[in-house]
Structures are given as structure tokens and as C-alpha cells.
Structure 1
Amino acid sequence: MKKIILLFFIANCLFIAAKGQKTNEIDLKTQGLTKYKGYFNFYWDEKTGRILLEVDNFNSEFLYVNSLPSGIGSNDLGLDRGQIGNSRIVKFIKSGPKILLIQPNYAYRAVSNNADERKSVEEAFAQSVIWGFKAEAQDGDKVLIDFTPFLLRDSHHIAYRLNSGNQGSYNEDESRSAVYLANTKSFPDNSEFEATITLTGKAKGGEISSVTPDPDAVTVRMHHSFIKLPDGNYKPRKFDPRSGYFDISYLDYATPMDQPIVKRFIARHRLQKKDPTAAMSEPVQPIVYYVDRGAPEPVRTALIEGASWWNQAFEAVGYINAFQVKLLPEDVDPMDIRYNIIQWVHRSTRGWSYGESITDPRTGEIIKGQVSLGSLRDRQDFLIAEGLLQPYEDGKPVSDAMMKLAIARLHQLAAHEVGHTLGLQHNFVASTNNRSSVMDYPPPYVALNNDGSIDLSKAYTTEIGSWDKRAILFGYQDFPVGTDEDAALKDIMSNTLKQGHLFITDEDARPAGSAHPLAHLWDNGTNAADELNRLMGIRKHLLDNFSEKAIRQDAPMATIEEALVPIYLLQRYQVEAASKMLGGIYYTYAIKNDGQITTKFIAPAEQWKAFNALMATISPDALAIPEKLIEKIPPRPVDYPRTRELFKSHTGLTFDPIAAAESSAGTTLAFMLNPERAARLVEYHARDNAQPGLIAVLDKLIAQTWKAPQQSGYKGQLQALVNGLTLKQLLTLAADNSAPESVGSIGLLEIDNLKSWMINSVKASSGEHKANLLFGLEQISQFEKDPAKFKPSPVLPMPDGSPIGE
């Protein structure tokens, strides 16, 4: 009996003890799993392949970034290794067993101490729930969620990109997707997750088929970063449209009525001097960039050297060793948010390089810079150098000048793309001011020596530009306590303008009909027309002497065309630049009372000079390829197919010199008769009759094409080609509904006048010239039947010049 009583007593004590002890659900759920401690603790379940995430910071905001560490490799598809996806501020909220990852709307805010005022704005605009989870276990305020479905989704929207790009119909395939544990880690201020994602479907596009072993199963990796937001010690800097910086903006509904509601701040890294009062000081924390270990030599050294140019700008601001470039340590994941990266990215064809930043949406502070440099760009520069120098002479050693040119370009390219990740936009006017910025697009500067040899000694700049130094001064100067920052920045900008620096960027330089006479891509010289004339002289010399010395000893003769393309089209970007002088207007991003010219007409003489320079590029003499060179270019041999880097052809397998001329002349005429340019010619002439009007331009154009003395033979065919292209462009302009009626009416007038001249000229013509006139009259007849439906045959495009893709 005593024994029974004792056992009952012990059991009762154990029951009471167990009742008083709280069960730890998360410990039980994660027993035997591998725990990763850090900003977000998480657990790896080897048996099920799951990631279980601990959430204990509900309603606390952090930064979420998705990226693509393993890409597809096609420029056209634009899904590169290292590509940054979306950056957004998010937070976890809890409702019963449900956990939501929600993105607040930071585009609309109330920067106010009044909680009700902030709440009214939050409730006025939609937010976005990115994902929903169910609690797997809970201990107090700490919840465990299954994070795996979130990681295994198509967060980079690759299926959508492939589907919309007509590459096929794809969906994510969970059975072929899994957590990529090697790059799944957690640190004190960031947690990094990665997954292998497979998209399956039915491929139908050539681009995806060319870069994927099985185009019905496209496998990449997707990365997710959860990042602690920066502390509140960073001070945003006000945006100035003249400064050259990217901006972040939002509407602040707490703004007094007499102040602008839109707030704008520049994007920049955090950089502070240890001693802001010192003329030169070390930084509290330097900006450090790391170069991809996969970049081979001598590329790797060139990238380090070129990117390091920026330290020259920071030294000019008063920093000592504030900008550093190093080789990425072996054990570092390039997608780790703590590292600014310069990646060497491989693609199937040459493409754009670019610099991206991960930025705090609240302030504009750049948290990570990510540069992607296309690995085939250096080979394109090497090819251009081969065409310029023709270095392969029998029995002679090959010069290292091509390699030097390619390395010089890599220096500039690295500096340029890093500049974007420092917050800087393109400055497409810098080339006209002694190449004052690496943020322009530079072509190699080519000169002709007295002995006829090509001089590439000044092909590319060798240091950071003077405008770059002024831009860094504006964005990164650390002012001593008590400084009136607004006044100091105004003074910096005033001095920048006094030094003759100007900033004009993409929207004013890229469109075909843009008007600024100085803002161009891939141009040189202070005057676009003068530089075009200079380049055409060098081009003529190169074409007259072009031969098989442009290709290696064992190369098929047909590959002369590869080196010929950039030489025949040496003028292509300068043509675009010169066209902007015609019907163009000078202007600045002026601020009230800053002393800058706001707008100014271009002198008529300068516009006519540009017109004449453009017309010289479509003359038969300029378009003709020497017969001795044409004879050296046979059809392509087996396994050397034609590519988009080569001229198109109307003659089948054979090289077509007239088609090459068509692509060149057609592009020039398209720029000259751009509808927006035509509209400006009408408007500016109406405001100032000294300005060239559209009628005067078209009259001169027709006089120098159709009405010029007709040549015979090869050059006669080129002349007929240009006549036809001129008429096509004129008919297209007259039928363009986007152009104002004034342009259309003048176009009709010129067509009618030309038609009358053609009718009279047919009677006195014969042979091919008569055929040219009759075909032109037939084109006009088709146009007159229904201008709105008239569509002339398309003009052959130039081979790809700028890097392929967007």
C-alpha cells in the first residue's frame, strides 16, 4: 500500500511539473534541423528540402531585393547573370495563423510627427501583399513559417519575359526546382536565400533555343535578400537637375501648401570624412568595389585600374583613399548585399554593359552597386582596331595596338558603369567639352598621320573627367557642422557652370528626332558637322586602302566583311549627331536666375553646314566601295553563316555593295526627314525666317539627288538608289499622321513638284535613268491613291552597331 501511495505521489508531482512547464513549439518543430543564425534565423530541413524561417519582428520594415545570380545568356532576352530585380521596403504582419509579407506604398507619404496625418496617407493609397504564409509553430511573439514556396516561385518573372517575347509558353516547375543551399546564408544585418528554378513549357523562339541545352526546360537561379534598413544617420541630399545624379522622389502630403509637394533627393553612397573640417581626410568608411574573379587577365587588371579612376574624383573632393577597388575574395557570393560588385558577364552575342544600384527608397542612400560588363565588348573594339590598322602583313609581327585599344576601352567602360552605381546619369554633352566625363559614350578618336597611317594614341581618355570631379563634389562633399548645405551646393553648381560644364542626358540624346546640337551618343568633336566631315575623310582613306590585311592569316577571305562593316559605317553615329544641328535648338536644364541660356536658335549657317555634311555621306562617291575590295569578298564558306553583324543582301549568297549603301544612305535620310525635325523646321522658320525652313531643306535635298546630273555604271546605280530612298522618305513623311498638318502639306507640295519634274524628265531620258523615273512615278501614284495606307518597301537596316539588346 505504501508503495502504491509513493508511486501516485511521484506521478502527481511529475504531472504538476509538466503542467507548469511551457512547451517550446519552435524547438520541437525544428529539432534535428540545421539552424542558421543572423538577421533572420532560419532552419534547413535536409529530409524535406525546406527552409523554415523565424519571424519575430512583426511590423518592422526591412529591405527585400530579388536578383538573378545565374542567367540565360541572351542579349535579346535581357536576363543576365547578376541582374538586380526589384528593391522594396516590406514588413511581416500577423493575423491569426496567417503571416503576410506586405509592401507599404512609399511613393506617397506624410513626413510628419502626427501619427494621424501619417495614417491618413497610408490608408489613401493601396499597398501590396507580396506573399502569404501559415504559421507552422509559434512561441509567444515568435512564429515559424515555411519559406520554401516563396523561394521556389518565379520571382524574377522570367516566364512572363519569355512568353511576352514570343519564346514559348512557360510555367515554373516545382518538381525541378530546389533550394540552392550553397548561397543561402544569414549575417547580422542581412539574410541571403537562393533557389534553383526551372521553367518548363514549349519553346518556339530562336533566342531561347540558341542558349539553352533543352529549351523546353529553362533552369536558372534566383536570389532573395532580406536586409536591415540603414540607420537614421544618413542625410539625404536635395536633387538638382543640373547635377547629373539619378533621383528618388515621392509626394509628401505633410508639406505646407506654399511648398512643392514632390520631394526629390539624389541617389548616392554614404560617405563621411573623419574630419569634415580638414582639406584632406580619410573617410569614416571607404566605398569599396570588388571585381569578379571570373574576369581573365588582362581584363581583370584593366577593370580594377579603370574603376579606380574614381578615386581621382574623390581626392579632388578632399578624401584620402575613399574609393577602393579590390579582387573579390574567394568565398564571397557576388549577390551578398554587403559587397559592391563589378561582374564580367558572358552572353551569346555582344551586348550592353550596365550599372545598377540597390537604394534605400526612403532616402536615396545607395546600399549596393552592381556593375555588369559584357565580355564580348572588348572583342568588338579589337575588331574595330583590326579594320583601322590592318595589321596582318605577311612576314611581319602583329602589332599589340589592337590589344592596347581594347584595354583602353575597358578602362573607360569600367569607370563609366561604376559611375552609374555612384548615382550618376549619362552626360552626353561631355564629348564636346574635351571629353570631360566618362559618363558619355565614347567612340575611339581616330586620326590620320601625314604618312597615311592611323593614329590611335588618343583613342580613349586615360583618367577621370573634369565634369566627373564636379559631380562628385556636388554629391559627396562632406560639409562641416553648421554649414548652410543649400547655399554650399548652390555655390558648387554655380562654379561648375562658370567652368563651362553642361549636363544633358538620355531623353535629350537618344530619340531619333532629338534637337540638342551637342548631346549625342558615340560622337567626338566640338562641332558635329565638322567632325563628320573629318571622319568621312579618314573613312575614304581607309576604304581606298582596305584589304585582306584586316584578317588573320588563316581566316576565310569572306571574313573581310566583319572588319569592313565598322569602317564602311565609321560615320554612322556622327551622322546622327550632325542631323540634330538641322532643325535643332540649343538649351540647358536651367534653374531660374542661374545665368544659363535657356534656349537659343542654331545659326542658319551652322545648320546648312550640317545639311551639306549629311548630303556628302550619301553621295555616290561616299557610298561606293572600291572594286578591288569587292572582288576580295566571296560568299560565306560553310559554317560561317551571315549574322546581324554583317550587311544585309539583295543578291543571295554574294556580297552586295549596293545593299550596304542602302543601309547607310537610308539611315541618313531617315534622320534628316524625321517628323519631329520636320515640324521644328516649319516652326522655327515661322518664328525667324532666317532659319532653314522645311521647304528650303526639301528643295535642296531633291536638287542634290533627283535633279543632280546622272552618273552611269556602279555610281549611277548608287545615285538611283539614293533617289529612290529620298522619295520613300518624303512619301513616308507626308503620310505620317503623327506629324502636324503643316509638315504633311509641305510634303504633298514637294511630291507634286517632283512628280511634275519627273513627268517632264521621262521624255528626255533612257535606260536605267528612265527606269528610275518611272518607278518613282509609280510610287507616287500608289501614294496618291490612299496616302494613309501607303507603305513603301522597308529600307535595309544597318548591321548592329551599338551593343545588341536593351
Structure 2
Amino acid sequence: MKKILLLLAVFTGFVTHAQFLEKKKDLKKYEGFFDFYYSQKEDKIFLEVSDLNKEFLYVYSLSSGVGSNDIGLDRGQLGNEQVVKFQRAGNKLLLVQPNLDYRAITDNELERRSVEQAFAKSVLYGFKIEEEKNGKFVIDITSFLLQDAHGVKRRLAQQNQGNYSVDASKSALAMERTKAFPKNVEFEALLTFKGEARGGNIRSVTPNPNLVSVIEHHSFIELPDANYEKRIFDPRSGAISISYLDYATPVFEPIRKRYIIRHRLEKKDPNAAVSEAKEPIVYYLDNGTPEPIRSALLEGGKWWNQAFEAIGFKDAFQVKILPDDADPMDVRYNVIQWVHRSTRGWSYGGSVIDPRTGEILKGHVSLGSLRIRQDFLIAQALMNKPFAERDDNYQPMLELALARIRQLSAHEIGHTIGFAHNFAASVSGRASVMDYPHPQFSVNNGEIDFSNAYDTGIGEWDKVTVAYSYSQFPQGTNERNALNAILAKAGQDGLRFISDSDARPRGGAHALAHLWDNGADAVNELENVLEVRKTAISNFSKDNIRTNEPYSVLEDVFVPLYFFHRYQTEAAVKLIGGLDYNYAVKGDGQQITKVVDSKEQKKALDGLLNTLSTEVLIIPEDKLALFPPRAMGYGRSRESFRSKAGVAFDPVSAASTASDMTLGLLLHPQRATRLIQQKAIDKRQLGLEEVLDELISNTIKAKAQSGYEGEIQRAVNYSVLRHIINLSAGEQGPSQLKAITDYKLAELRDWLKTRTGDASAALMSSEIDKFLKNPKGFKNTPAPQIPDGSPIGMPACDFNGF
């Protein structure tokens, strides 16, 4: 009897199991890479799985974002791509992510399995099998789609905006862009995050900051076929790479494998010198982009075709407008998206990549829409009385901003076709759009010349990176030799490649790789930039704004002009304690590394000290009359001058902020450490003691000035002392760093004590005494923070971002 009941139960269960979809009366079927069904009544999606253990690509992203650059959750933002597969476990299907960081590429199945079993995999989700019929399984994936895959909750917490969680009652599937195609299916869900807002950023971009609603996108994508050919990564190439450990590698070969990322591009006729591509690389510009920006972005993006033509591809790289019925999140489209935020911020380029091979499946560029307004503002500040005669004279400034946007389009697309930043390109003219371009101006007959502000095409280095990554070599060619030949010729042509961490102004040490600089000689260009700045400040007037605009706007226009020298200062300071080196490999004949010559370092120090001079930092008195207290409705923002004078404009704090910028770079502990080490190895080199002596002699010990100039000078002097004390108090450097700085502080204290009747000297002497007696009690009093820069704060990007 028990057996009969058991069989009846099994049979009944099977029938019920098999009739799951048949009971649903309102299902809408979508046919594609995965077939799925949507029940509007239940607001659920049921996925049909027919191929267990078959790998595919899962990508999550944001269709609609939060709108804050600081929070960093943008419309169109890509998440991580993951190779996954469905595996059965009892009455469940598990979505499993294999561990591709550790592999055994071999025909030996047991060897492959041994590596798979050695390292953990990840089960991303478990789904109850609702129906099983004819080898097909039906699962309810609704809860999977309604989870916070993109990590919005985590990001809001990381940015101290509040603790949030998904509110299921206010979340739902979003069906407008949920679609099925032969090689991919796309799902969307509206997620509402409920919590208690704590941060100002989230409050500034939401109608109700306690309820934050975004749309998360999920893509299931067919993996490419096995015909893609991986290409070896070379650190000299400028290409972005993937890597993994291959445990099937012979012991005498490197176990870590490195390959570049690139789109699949093949000639229709491999034997032809010039051929069309089987499938050209096509990028689609967001059809919501307005004119004239739209035309500028199209033009700048199309520059890349010049590089592909140089390696024998005809019309292989194209840029078009996204069709009205296309979804920018659809993996079939490489997209340039025009992204809006509450403040200006970074643009960046990302890619969906096959993690197995490095093949780029989708390029996705995000361009911050407010950036062009900042470029317009810079032009407005530098031009001589642009609104003197009429208020509609915006075309010259717009043209300059559009020239910058063309370059920006090319730059971010470059990341998505596989290329890293090249911050050494500017030493060879304008060799790469993958550099960060500072506008190139000059002064002729007392007027600023804008004619050469930005480049107008692809650079010579960009052609090298395209050649390395995308050249199709004739059959029988030794590919490694051919690739080496490309890089060798680039070196012979004087092209240099140095990327991100080496170019950063504080931790970086490369003497030729800088962000936002121009020219082969950083110090000479600093002199030029200061001359441009001086001329523009002299010309600056009420006619730099339109009629009926409050003078508070004029102050905001003046900000980027006053700090116009900030990035060339960063470039010049890197020569001090600097190195010149390459990503050299054995046998290529490149210079490996050398210390910057002492004469160049001393020249750079002189240039840096000039940025601390009263002549450079003082705002002319006739300009101060243009900056009244802020008008009602036009309060200070993060991009305004800070003030210690209440509502009044504070020129002394502006000078203190500018000097702080230079001093923070010059007296960085890593730079100071290099100076100590370089001097120890070569006595002819510039050392930390000489830097401190020159700095003190040109500021604190310089001839005292009076009046307005004297206040500026004293503000700089306090900044100098504060930074020297801060260098001594820090814990990042060797003991010798503290020994030198404390010795110089003691020397300075003794000199200051001789300055009888000088209140400023007495105060600084007292500060040194207190610090030397109790270093742990030292509290740094910073100058007002410098307004946001390039374009917001300091650069912080991986292989993308601009």
C-alpha cells in the first residue's frame, strides 16, 4: 500500500510539475537565446533552460542612475561580466560562476578537473525547478532580477549616504526594455532602495532621499565561438590586458598568461594590402545627444578610422547615430552615451569582455554632459572681453569647447577598443588622444592665441597601439617578431608610452609622464602657462560675463583662470626627485631607468618657487572690486573660492590655497624620500636639504613686503612652515627624513628668533618650538581647499576615466 501511495505521489507530482506553465493564462512568450515568459498578473518572469552546463555570459548594469558624480552610479554604468552556467542539483538549478583565474588549458580532462577542484567557484543563485519537460526546465527568475546585483546599496553605504535596502513593495520588473534576441536576452527591474539618508549628495539628486529608485539591467549573452585569436600582451604596447594562471604550462614557462583585450576584426581578403572588414567595428552615439555636441562627438570618434586605415582596413571603424528603437544596454551595440549628472564629473569608457579570451563584445562610453560647460567656462575666462559688445558672442568659446569634446570622444572610445592612457605622449607633440590634453595657448603681442588649443585628429602613438592590437599578418608570419618590430619602430620614432600610476602628481615619479600637460619641457611650459595666466588676469573684466548676470558669476569664471597653472605645476614638480624610465623588456635596447639630471631638477625647483611668489599669487587690486559678497541665490559651491572673511571675497585665502597646492606636491613624503636616496647615491644630485634651504630662502627668509603684498607673503610663509612640519610629523618616510626636517626646523627657529619686532616671525618660531617639543601633539591647520579640478577632484580611474 505504501508503495502504491508513493508511486501515486510521484506521478501526481510529475503531472503538477509538468503543467506549471499550462496553468498560467496570461503569459507572454519571448523567444531568443533563452526563451522566457512574463506574467503581468503575478509580475514574474519564468525562464526556460534547455542546455545545462553550457557556459554563457552574465552582465549586470544600470539603465537609469542616481545622477551624482561623487556617488558614482551613472545611467549606463556597466557592472562586472561573468561566465556562468546552469547546473542541476536535486530540485534546483544553480547558476554557477566557474573560477577562470585558475585554469589548465590542456586536452587532459583529469588535469583540467584537478584545477577546477582546487579553487573555489561561486554559486550566484539557486532556482526551484517549476517544470521539467522534454529536457527543458522552467524556473522563476523574478527574485534574481529583483536583487541588487549592481551593488547600489553597497555603494551608497561606502559613500556615507545612508544605509539602504531593497523595498520589495516598491520594486517591480521593468518590461519596456526586457527583450529577447537570438544571441542575447535582456531583463530590467525597477528597484527602490529604502533607508535613512545621511549624505548631502543623495539628498541633492533625489526628490525623496529616503526612497531611491533606479533600474538595474541584466544580460544573458551567448559566448563567442572559438575562432577568436588571442594576442600576447606587451607592457610597451599601450594595450589593456587580462591575465590568468594556466597550470598546464610547462615548468620552464611563465604560469601567468597575459593577453590584450580587443574587438574581433578580420579582413574580408586576408591577402590584400587594403581590405574591408568582415564585420566593421561600429559605435553608436546616444540619439539623445543635442547639436552641436552630437556632430563634434561623431567627428572625434571617427578619428580612429585613420589608425585602422594605416594597417590596411577600409572603413573598419565607424560611428553612427543609435537607431531610435535600439537599446543602449543591448550587448549588440557599442555605445557612446551622453550622461547627465548634478555636477560635472568624469567621462569613462568600459567594455564587456569575454573573460576567457579578452575579446571585447561591447564597448560602452559614458560622457558627462556638464563637462563641455566647464570647457566653455575656461574659454570664457581666458578670452579678452568676450561680451563687451554683445551678449550673444558665444561662438568663439563654444568652438573651443567643441574642439575639446572631439578629443574627449576619441579618448574614451580608445579605452573601449582596448587602449590605456599614455601620459608620456605630450613629449612628442600630440602623439596620442589617450593622453589628457591641456589646452595649448600662447601669448602673441600681448594677446592670447587660441588657434592651437586642441588637436584635430588621431596621434602617431594611437596608430602604434592600433597596429599592435589589430594588425592582421600574412599567413606564416612570426607574430611575436612582427609585433616587436611595430614597437621597435615606435621607439626609433621617439614615441614614449607611460601610463597611469607612473604619471600621478604625488605618488608618480616619471619625469615625462604627466596629466594635463604640454610639451617636452615641463618647466618651460610652466613659464608659458604662467604668462598666459598673467595676460588673461590683466585682461579680465566685467565683460567676461553677460549683461544682467550678477558679479558672483564673474567670480566663478575667475576660478579656473586663477588656478590655470595647477596641472603644469604638477608636471614640473615631478622632475624633482624624478626618474626617466621605460617599460623595458630584455633585448629591446630601451633605457631602463635613470635619475633626472641635477640641473633639470634645480631648474624645476626654480620654476616651482616662482609659483609661490607674491607676483604670481596676488590678485590685482582693480580685480578685487569685481568680486562683491555673493548675490542672493548665487551662493558658493564646491567650485568657488573659499573664504575666511565671511561673506567677503578673500584674496589672501586664494593665495594660501594656491601655495598649498604647490607645497603639497613639492614636499610629498615619497618625493622627499627619493631626494634623500638620490643624494646618498650621487652627491651631485639635488637633495632634500637643498630643497628645504631654497624653499625657506625664497619665502620665509625673503625680504619682507608690506601692505596687501605683505599679507600674501605671510600667508605663503605660514603654508611653507606648516608643510615642513607636516613632512616631519608624517609616518610615511624613513627616519632620515625626520632627521633632516627637524634639523632645518631648528635652524629656521633660531633665525626667526633674531627677527625682533616681527609678530609673524615670533608666531612661527613659537609653532616650531611647540612641535619639536611635542611632535605627536601637532595638528595641521590646512589652507582653504582648492576648488574642484580635472574635472572633479583628483583623477581616480582604472583603465578608463577622463
Aligned partner of residue 182 in structure 1, secondary structure: coil
Q: Which residue of 2 aligns with 1:789?
A: 777
Q: Which residue of 1 aligns with 2:437?
A: 442
Matched, 1:430 2:425: yes
Q: 2:449 corresponds to which letter in structure 1?
A: D
Contact kept in structure 1, 2:667 and 2:727, CA below 8 Å: yes
Contact kept in structure 2, 1:273 and 1:283, CA below 8 Å: yes
Matched, 1:685 2:679: yes
Q: Which residue of 1 aligns with 2:520?
A: 526
Aligned partner of residue 81 in structure 1, secondary structure: coil
Q: Which residue of 1 aligns with 2:764?
A: 776
Contact kept in structure 2, 1:229 and 1:360, CA below 8 Å: yes
Q: What is the count of residue pairs matched by the alignment?
A: 781
Contact kept in structure 2, 1:29 and 1:137, CA below 8 Å: no
Aligned with residue 399 of structure 2, among 404, 416, 419 = 404
Q: 2:19 corresponds to which letter in structure 1?
A: E
Matched, 1:588 2:595: no
For residues 136 and 396 of structure 1, the distance between their equivalents in structure 2, rounded to whole angstroms, comes to 68
Q: 2:226 corresponds to which letter in structure 1?
A: G
Q: Which residue of 2 aligns with 1:228?
A: 222
Cα drift, residue 25 of structure 1: 3.2
Kindly report the root-mean-square deviation, in angstroms, between the aligned alpha carbons of the 2 structures: 1.5
Aligned with residue 564 of structure 1, among 558, 568, 574 = 558
Q: Which residue of 1 aligns with 2:464?
A: 470
Higher alpha-carbon deviation: 285-294 or 718-727: 718-727
Contact kept in structure 2, 1:34 and 1:45, CA below 8 Å: yes
For residues 178 and 16 of structure 2, the distance between their equivalents in structure 1, rounded to whole angstroms, comes to 32
Q: Which residue of 2 aligns with 1:353?
A: 347
What are the within-5 Å matches in structure 2 for residues 121-132 of structure 1?
121-132=115-126
Q: Which residue of 1 aligns with 2:592?
A: 598
For residues 602 and 32 of structure 1, the distance between their equivalents in structure 2, rounded to whole angstroms, comes to 74
Aligned with residue 605 of structure 2, among 611, 614, 620 = 611
For residues 359 and 100 of structure 1, the distance between their equivalents in structure 2, rounded to whole angstroms, comes to 23
For residues 273 and 396 of structure 1, the distance between their equivalents in structure 2, rounded to whole angstroms, comes to 53
Contact kept in structure 1, 2:380 and 2:557, CA below 8 Å: yes
Q: Which residue of 2 aligns with 1:757?
A: 751
For residues 581 and 641 of structure 2, the distance between their equivalents in structure 1, rounded to whole angstroms, comes to 37
For residues 276 and 404 of structure 2, the distance between their equivalents in structure 1, rounded to whole angstroms, comes to 31
Q: Which residue of 2 aligns with 1:152?
A: 146
Matched, 1:799 2:787: yes
Contact kept in structure 2, 1:271 and 1:476, CA below 8 Å: yes
Higher alpha-carbon deviation: 414-423 or 489-498: 489-498
Q: 2:777 corresponds to which letter in structure 1?
A: K
Q: Which residue of 2 aligns with 1:504?
A: 498
The TM-score with structure 1 as length reference comes to: 0.95
Q: 2:272 corresponds to which letter in structure 1?
A: A
Q: 1:507 corresponds to which letter in structure 2?
A: S
Contact kept in structure 1, 2:17 and 2:132, CA below 8 Å: no
For residues 43 and 693 of structure 1, the distance between their equivalents in structure 2, rounded to whole angstroms, comes to 72
For residues 153 and 413 of structure 1, the distance between their equivalents in structure 2, rounded to whole angstroms, comes to 35
For residues 343 and 537 of structure 2, the distance between their equivalents in structure 1, rounded to whole angstroms, comes to 27
For residues 551 and 362 of structure 1, the distance between their equivalents in structure 2, rounded to whole angstroms, comes to 55
Cα drift, residue 201 of structure 1: 1.2
Question: What's the % identity of the aligned pairs?
Answer: 52
Contact kept in structure 2, 1:99 and 1:135, CA below 8 Å: yes
- Residues 276, 754 of structure 1: CA spacing in aligned structure 2 closer, same or farther, 3 A cutoff? same
Q: 1:745 corresponds to which letter in structure 2?
A: A
Aligned with residue 38 of structure 1, among 27, 32, 45 = 32
Contact kept in structure 2, 1:685 and 1:691, CA below 8 Å: yes
Q: 1:775 corresponds to which letter in structure 2?
A: L
**How far does the alpha carbon of each residue in 1:315-354 deviate from its partner, in whole angstroms, 9 at most, with x for none?**
0111000000000001011100000000000000000000
Aligned partner of residue 284 in structure 2, secondary structure: strand
For residues 329 and 494 of structure 1, the distance between their equivalents in structure 2, rounded to whole angstroms, comes to 42
Aligned partner of residue 66 in structure 1, secondary structure: strand
Q: Which residue of 1 aligns with 2:253?
A: 259
- Residues 625, 95 of structure 1: CA spacing in aligned structure 2 closer, same or farther, 3 A cutoff? same
Contact kept in structure 1, 2:21 and 2:131, CA below 8 Å: no
Cα drift, residue 779 of structure 1: 1.3
Q: Which residue of 1 aligns with 2:85?
A: 91
For residues 423 and 254 of structure 1, the distance between their equivalents in structure 2, rounded to whole angstroms, comes to 27
Contact kept in structure 1, 2:17 and 2:130, CA below 8 Å: no
**How far does the alpha carbon of each residue in 1:141-195 deviate from its partner, in whole angstroms, 9 at most, with x for none?**
2111111001111111111111222211210011111111111111111010001
**How far does the alpha carbon of each residue in 1:9-66 deviate from its partner, in whole angstroms, 9 at most, with x for none?**
xxxxxxxxx9x99995355245541110110000011111100000111111000000
Aligned partner of residue 742 in structure 2, secondary structure: helix
Matched, 1:105 2:99: yes
Contact kept in structure 1, 2:286 and 2:338, CA below 8 Å: yes
Aligned partner of residue 169 in structure 1, secondary structure: strand
For residues 85 and 141 of structure 1, the distance between their equivalents in structure 2, rounded to whole angstroms, comes to 32
What are the within-5 Å matches in structure 2 for residues 129-278 of structure 1?
129-278=123-272
For residues 574 and 110 of structure 1, the distance between their equivalents in structure 2, rounded to whole angstroms, comes to 49
Aligned partner of residue 532 in structure 1, secondary structure: helix
**How far does the alpha carbon of each residue in 1:598-632 deviate from its partner, in whole angstroms, 9 at most, with x for none?**
11221211111110111111101111101010011
Aligned partner of residue 618 in structure 1, secondary structure: coil
Contact kept in structure 2, 1:311 and 1:321, CA below 8 Å: yes
Q: 2:359 corresponds to which letter in structure 1?
A: E
For residues 489 and 308 of structure 2, the distance between their equivalents in structure 1, rounded to whole angstroms, comes to 18
**How far does the alpha carbon of each residue in 1:720-777 deviate from its partner, in whole angstroms, 9 at most, with x for none?**
111111111111111111111111110111011101111122x2xx3xxx12111112
**How far does the alpha carbon of each residue in 1:268-291 deviate from its partner, in whole angstroms, 9 at most, with x for none?**
000001112211110010000000
Q: Which residue of 2 aligns with 1:369?
A: 363
The gaps in structure 1 that reach 5 residues or longer are 1-17
Cα drift, residue 804 of structure 1: 2.0
**How far does the alpha carbon of each residue in 1:185-229 deviate from its partner, in whole angstroms, 9 at most, with x for none?**
111110100011100111121111110011111000000000000
Aligned partner of residue 775 in structure 1, secondary structure: helix
**How far does the alpha carbon of each residue in 1:79-116 deviate from its partner, in whole angstroms, 9 at most, with x for none?**
00000011110001011111110100000001111111
Matched, 1:282 2:280: no
Cα drift, residue 801 of structure 1: 1.0
Q: Give the greater-gyration-radius structure (CA).
A: 1
For residues 443 and 22 of structure 1, the distance between their equivalents in structure 2, rounded to whole angstroms, comes to 69
Contact kept in structure 1, 2:505 and 2:514, CA below 8 Å: no
For residues 677 and 32 of structure 1, the distance between their equivalents in structure 2, rounded to whole angstroms, comes to 69
Q: Which residue of 2 aligns with 1:8?
A: none
Q: 1:546 corresponds to which letter in structure 2?
A: F
- Residues 490, 803 of structure 1: CA spacing in aligned structure 2 closer, same or farther, 3 A cutoff? same
For residues 343 and 513 of structure 1, the distance between their equivalents in structure 2, rounded to whole angstroms, comes to 32
Q: 2:780 corresponds to which letter in structure 1?
A: P
For residues 540 and 27 of structure 1, the distance between their equivalents in structure 2, rounded to whole angstroms, comes to 75
Cα drift, residue 514 of structure 1: 1.7
Contact kept in structure 2, 1:25 and 1:139, CA below 8 Å: no
Aligned partner of residue 51 in structure 1, secondary structure: strand
Contact kept in structure 1, 2:48 and 2:138, CA below 8 Å: yes
Q: Which residue of 1 aligns with 2:5?
A: none
Higher alpha-carbon deviation: 393-402 or 170-179: 393-402
Contact kept in structure 1, 2:448 and 2:535, CA below 8 Å: no
Aligned with residue 669 of structure 2, among 675, 678, 703 = 675
Q: Which residue of 1 aligns with 2:8?
A: none
Q: 1:748 corresponds to which letter in structure 2?
A: D
Q: Which residue of 2 aligns with 1:382?
A: 376
For residues 15 and 195 of structure 2, the distance between their equivalents in structure 1, rounded to whole angstroms, comes to 53
Aligned partner of residue 123 in structure 2, secondary structure: strand
Q: 1:500 corresponds to which letter in structure 2?
A: G
- Residues 22, 545 of structure 1: CA spacing in aligned structure 2 closer, same or farther, 3 A cutoff? closer
Q: 2:292 corresponds to which letter in structure 1?
A: P
- Residues 21, 350 of structure 1: CA spacing in aligned structure 2 closer, same or farther, 3 A cutoff? closer
Contact kept in structure 2, 1:30 and 1:43, CA below 8 Å: no
Q: Which residue of 2 aligns with 1:459?
A: 453
